[in-house]
């Protein structure tokens, strides 16, 4: 595509590096900024730079934080005996939005993936072990909330093995037929697992 | 949605003001920037601010430009007797990408829309009339390439009326069945117009 201005071209190329954004969408965004108030662009640019340069990571759970300890880890209302292990902050936010979990988190920063060159050492697994080891923290349960993929399962297996010798209960989130979906459209593996993982009917 | 950090929240809110971007996509972009090199964010932010603060508009055709006169208007290879009137730079780029037009452009900056409070005075219509008036420019044809909407048609009608007394040919781009689409799925108005606007078969 030919652009009428080098400045537009630069902006489009930079915007199009964001995930899920193609050149056409990037151009629409660039032209939108050109039409809007100059202040808007400045605010956007500043917020991005601030995000990248000022964000900290919680020293306990590795969640993104505004302080050395994140709001969840420092809250007195959370159940500190239960730790939910997640892949990244997006998953943490997704679980927080369910309002069904009141414990702490541990953000791994990824999952073990030999194909992408991610080994256990690249993840925050050692610090998880250290949290469990530290008896003053009194962690009773580790919930593994990783994706239902080969990589997620491998990571869950690895963590379970590492934690075998500690007096902590290890659970994983339930796998099964998603709420609202019809049986005939559910894939075989999910359906199979949901039969194997059947639960007593609550009545 | 609750965010773990005020910085993330600010960035998500600013990104989500872009057209076609919701909070979820904005969050994905923000987390992507956090994972990527710090330089990447700086480049993106700089390109946006540069775009907004340094972009100029061509004094002839109002296209976005790096200089007072844009590359198209200053090119010696373009046919300066034909001027294609477009709504905005996006449409100009779309026409340029067809490689079917070698004349000059005139960017209106919008179309007449009483509902959105856009009157002829908000658009670059007067400067178009002045270009046609200026006999030294020797403009022979004005092609109206506006959207096939009520607003586009109104604007075309307005411009045609304004130019009635000048010795210039006024044309509009062809309306009809799009290339590659089947007749039975073409809407009635388009099909009706394509019959009214039928052309002699070239053989």
CA distance A186 to A181: 7
The sign of the torsion formed by the CA atoms of B31, B32, B38, B40 equals negative
**pLDDT per position as a tens digit, A15-24:** 999 998 999 8
**pLDDT per position as a tens digit, B112-165:** 999 999 999 999 999 999 999 999 999 999 999 999 889 999 999 999 999 999
Mean local confidence (pLDDT), B82-105: 91
Check residue A159 and give its pLDDT: 95
Which of A66, A158, A72, A142 shows the shortest CA–CA distance to A110? A158
Name the pLDDT band for B187 (thresholds 50, 70, 90).
confident
A156 interface with B at CB cutoff 8 Å = no
Q: Which chain A residues are closer than 8 Å to B4 by Cβ? A: 63-65, 70-72, 89, 92-93
Check residue B1 and give its pLDDT: 73
Q: So what's the ipTM on this one?
A: 0.76
Name the pLDDT band for B203 (thresholds 50, 70, 90).
low
- The residue written with tokens 């270009």 in the block is B131
Residues 6+ apart with CB under 8 A from B196: none
Residues of chain A under the 70 pLDDT cut: 202-203
Mapped onto helix, strand or coil, the DSSP state of residue A28 is helix
Q: Chain-wide mean pLDDT for chain B?
A: 90
Q: Are strands B56-57 and B64-65 parallel, antiparallel or unpaired?
A: antiparallel
**pLDDT tops 80 at residue B18:** yes
CA distance B55 to B70: 11
Structural domains of chain B in order of their starting residue, each with its CATH number? 6-54 (1.10.8.420), 64-172 (3.40.1360.10)
Check residue A203 and give its pLDDT: 66
Q: Which chain A residues are closer than 8 Å to B24 by Cβ? A: none
A177 interface with B at CB cutoff 8 Å = no
**pLDDT per position as a tens digit, B34-53:** 888 889 999 999 999 999 99
Q: Which chain B residues are closer than 8 Å to A40 by Cβ? A: 17
CA distance A191 to A185: 10
């Amino acid at each position: 595509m030919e652009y009428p201005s080098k400045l537009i071209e630069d902006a489009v190329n930079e915007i199009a590096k964001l995930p899920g954004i193609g050149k056409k969408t990037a151009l629409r965004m660039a032209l939108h900024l050109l039409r809007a108030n100059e202040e808007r662009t400045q605010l956007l640019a500043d917020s991005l730079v601030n995000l990248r340069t000022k964000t900290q990571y919680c020293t306990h759970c590795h969640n993104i934080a505004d302080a050395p300890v994140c709001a969840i880890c420092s809250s007195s209302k959370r159940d500190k005996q239960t730790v939910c292990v997640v892949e990244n902050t997006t998953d943490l936010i997704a679980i927080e939005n369910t309002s069904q979990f009141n414990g702490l988190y541990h953000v791994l920063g990824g999952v073990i993936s030999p194909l992408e060159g991610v080994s256990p050492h690249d993840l925050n697994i050692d610090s998880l072990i250290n949290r469990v080891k530290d008896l003053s923290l009194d962690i009773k349960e580790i919930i593994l909330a990783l994706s239902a993929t080969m990589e997620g399962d491998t990571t869950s297996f690895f963590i379970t093995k590492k934690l075998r010798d500690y007096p902590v209960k290890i659970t994983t989130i339930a796998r099964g037929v998603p709420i609202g979906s019809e049986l005939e459209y559910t894939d075989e593996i999910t359906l199979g697992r949901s039969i194997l993982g059947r639960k007593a009917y609550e009545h």
